[in-house]
Amino acid sequence: MDDTDVPQASIGDVPVDFDETVVLLDVREDDEWQRGHAPGAQHIPMGDVPARLAEIDTEAQLFVVCHAGGRSQRVAQYLARNGYDPINVAGGMLAWAGAGRPVVTDGGDSGAI
């Protein structure tokens, strides 16, 4: 059991826009990402995170999201042990979509969660 304490953010505390200073790391699988994701999110599936750590900006404010919050919690704990200061998005993309926030596909169309 991993007891690394990671801050939790309710969806209202998560920014809507992402840039070089704020990253939303989506750790869901490829098929989930393709159905729909937050505009501007960075996608690295959970299993690929250890091999792709260098792609995650250590300077940016880092929010980690998955479908409902479980996988992102585990990834956030891993990142916290590796020098990052991640914030887990409580409720995941279900909460994001439930709050009426935009969900898009890679093609820019409306997506689904």
Q: Which pairs with CB-CB distance under 8 Å and at least 24 residues apart come from 106-111?
A: 106/34, 110/36, 111/35, 111/36, 111/37
66 as an active site residue: the answer is yes
Sign (positive or negative) of CA dihedral 51, 31, 76, 23 = positive
In the set 38, 44, 62, 66, the catalytic residue is 66
As annotated, the active-site residues are 66
